[in-house]
């Protein structure tokens, strides 16, 4: 987050130099009340089941309370430059990582503001207007903090989601190099147009990256093979062929083959073998491999 961005946020919140001075003026009060305020905050967290879950370990709880006190004191230190901002941004990232939802930590900010409001009313009992005027700069600063924390939380969330989507995509279109120049593509599940494109794309890249000459594409696990799916498979085979790779399709049952032919599909383009083992044996033959037992005598 650049300095210009932070400056815009402060400008929008109308956080000015006189507010910074006012906040510094609250330092004494903050130091006086930091312990009871933070203790109250954690009493509050521990009284709710959802937030209690985050503080089961007593050592961790103590550590977090210390961090919380630092946070609280920093609000009135008077230095709200790049260090301050970095510190606040980290908070959002941590919350996303430990999966503490915004509703809970926003509640914490609310707690601080209320706690400080009450303490200020007490301190300036004779002059309630002064109490309010001292409170407003604090509100501006806390809202700066909220904005920073929430934005980083959202950003971190988007990154996590994107990684998850990548992982799912990887898992669902695996291309496995099982021998030199030989790839295995086990297709499992539903093959709709979108998935077919992903599979084809992934296969073609793998053919290039591994310089594959033969691909065994096993469709045993494909849920339904209708003419649409069969056409996708034929397209995948054709594309691989353009890159000089031969595709052996395994796992296509005779019933399904017959049904597809009856529906007018030309399966002549597909090189099919009954089962996966047969397909790999065929692939080995094409590549000139011959499997020989390590000890011809059949011993150890």
Partner 1 sequence: MAVPIMRQGDVLIASLQEALSDRALVELRDELARRVGLYRAHAVVIDVTALDVLDSFATRTLRAMAQISRLRGARTVVVGIQPEVAFAMVQLGLTLDGVDTALDLEEGLSLVGRGVRGSERHAP
- For the bound state, the minimum distance from the C-beta of residue 223 to partner 1, rounded and expressed in Å, comes to 23
Contact 183, 287 (CB under 8 A): no
Is 206 in contact with 177 (CB distance < 8 Å)? yes
Cβ atoms within 10 Å, residue 79: 10
Q: Is the CB of 139 or the CB of 239 nearer to partner 1? A: 239
| 213 in Cβ contact with 287 (< 8 Å) | yes
How many CA atoms lie within 13 Å of 20's alpha carbon, on the beta-carbon side? 8
From the list 264, 288, 293, 298, which residue makes contact with partner 1 (rule: CB under 8 A)? 288
Query: Measured from the CB of residue 235, what is the shortest distance to partner 1 in angstroms?
Result: 5
Span 195-224, contacts to partner 1 by CB under 8 A:
197, 200-201, 204-205, 207-208, 211, 213
- What is d(CA 104, CA 284) in angstroms, rounded to the nearest whole number? 60
Closer residue to partner 1 (CB): 38 or 175: 175
Distance CA 40, CA 50 (A): 17
Q: Cα dist. 283→15, 178, 203, 295 in Å?
A: 71, 11, 17, 24
Q: Does the protein bind partner 1 through residue 245 (CB under 8 A)?
A: yes
Verify binding: residue 247, partner 1, rule CB under 8 A.
no
Segment near partner 1 (CB under 8 A); pick from 92-100, 194-202, 247-255, 259-267: 194-202
Alpha carbons within 13 A on the beta-carbon side of 52:
6
> Do the Cβ atoms of 183 and 150 come closer than 8 Å?
no
Contacting partner 1 within 134-193 (CB under 8 A): none
Residue of 87, 172, 235, 257 interacting with partner 1 (CB under 8 A)? 235
User: What is the nearest approach in angstroms of partner 1 to the Cβ of residue 212?
Assistant: 8
Residue 228 engages partner 1 in binding (rule: CB under 8 A): no
Tell me, by CB under 8 A, how many residues bind partner 1.
22
- Tell me how far, at minimum, the Cβ of 214 lies from partner 1, in Å: 10
Cα angle: 162, vertex 165, 171; to 5 degrees: 145
**Shortest reach from residue 97's CB to partner 1, in Å:** 36
Shortest reach from residue 204's CB to partner 1, in Å: 4
Compute the least distance from the CB of residue 172 to partner 1, in Å. Answer: 18
- Contact predicate 276/241, CB 8 Å: no
52 versus 205: smaller Cβ distance to partner 1: 205
> Can you tell me the distance from the alpha carbon of 274 to that of 249, in angstroms, rounded to the nearest whole number?
8
Kindly list the residues in this chain that would bind partner 1 in the complex (CB under 8 A): 197, 200-201, 204-205, 207-208, 211, 213, 235-236, 238-245, 286-288
């Amino acid at each position: 987050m650049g300095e210009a961005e932070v400056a815009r946020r402060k400008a929008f919140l109308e956080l000015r130099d006189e507010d910074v001075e006012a906040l510094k003026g609250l330092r004494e009060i903050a130091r006086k009340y930091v312990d009871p305020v933070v203790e109250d905050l954690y009493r509050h967290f521990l009284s709710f089941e959802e937030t209690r879950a985050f503080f089961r370990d007593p050592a961790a709880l103590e550590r977090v309370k210390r961090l919380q006190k630092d946070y609280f004191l920093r609000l009135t230190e008077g230095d709200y430059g790049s260090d301050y901002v970095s510190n606040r941004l980290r908070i959002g990232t941590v919350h996303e990582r430990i999966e503490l939802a915004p509703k809970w930590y926003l509640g914490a900010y609310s707690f601080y503001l209320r706690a400080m409001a009450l303490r200020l009313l007490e301190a300036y009992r004779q002059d309630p207007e002064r109490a309010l005027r001292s409170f407003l700069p604090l509100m501006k600063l806390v809202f700066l903090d909220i904005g920073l924390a929430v934005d980083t939380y959202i950003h971190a969330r988007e990154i996590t989601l994107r990684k998850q989507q990548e992982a799912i995509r990887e898992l669902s279109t695996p291309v496995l190099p099982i021998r030199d120049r030989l790839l295995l593509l086990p297709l499992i599940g539903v093959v709709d147009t979108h998935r077919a494109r992903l599979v084809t794309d992934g296969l073609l890249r793998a053919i290039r990256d591994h310089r594959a000459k033969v691909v065994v594409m096993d469709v045993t696990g494909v849920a339904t093979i209708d003419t649409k799916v069969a056409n996708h498979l034929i397209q995948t085979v054709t594309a691989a062929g353009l890159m000089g790779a031969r595709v052996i399709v395994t796992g296509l049952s005779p019933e399904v083959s017959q049904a597809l032919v009856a529906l007018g599909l030309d399966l002549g383009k597909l090189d099919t073998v009954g089962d996966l083992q047969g397909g790999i044996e065929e692939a080995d033959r094409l590549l000139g491999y011959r499997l020989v037992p390590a000890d011809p005598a059949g011993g150890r």
